Amino acid sequence: MPAPGESNVAFPPPAPGARARFWLGLVVLAVLLAVFHLFFPHDVLLELEGRVREAGWPGLLLLALLYVPAALAGIPVAVLTFSAGWLFGPVAAFLMAVPSCTVSACAAFGVGRLLAGDPKYLARGEGRIARLARSLGTRRGFWTVVVLRLSPVTPFALLNFAFGATPMRLSTYALGTLLGSIPATLGFAIAGALLGGRR
């Protein structure tokens, strides 16, 4: 009998090669992120910040467009939210960052699911990871995302991909991210605005 909150749906046996594809996807993702962080010219970020500042309000749209590639590169998007608060004030930064954060998290979630191949792979069996994966496919998964998002130090730059490898629905992840990211996003926007001398 499943534990409270767990799904009682029986998962079919994995397709041939599911295990190999799962681990191959994980290795590919790790290699891509490592290569990016080793060879990406980080002074480009400083150059972009200068251009955003010079562009004025259209620069806020440019920052919004950077959320998805940042999330796919494993870069914490809080950096962009902080920069938006610094350059444009807390209100504009917050209104831009919440939907941008949600869209970028869903993009990374989709990549994680694509690389994992079979989102039900981790949910098979009776181990701790399998039970956790099954619970993420239920109503409990929504609250797990919300609670994790409430913490500004949760490493969602990587967890976005990890959640994609579970049976959790994209709609559940999107809604949990949207609601749960509001406090931390507001905090980063205000912090950026205060340090930038904006109100």
Which backbone phi and psi does 151 adopt, to 5 degrees?
-90, 125
Q: Is 43 exposed, middle or buried (0-12, 13-18, 19+ CB in 10 A)?
A: exposed
pLDDT in tens, 94-151: 999 999 999 999 999 998 888 876 666 555 556 565 566 566 666 788 888 898 888 8
- Give percent of the chain with pLDDT exceeding 70: 62
Domain range summary for the chain, segments of one domain joined by +: 18-195
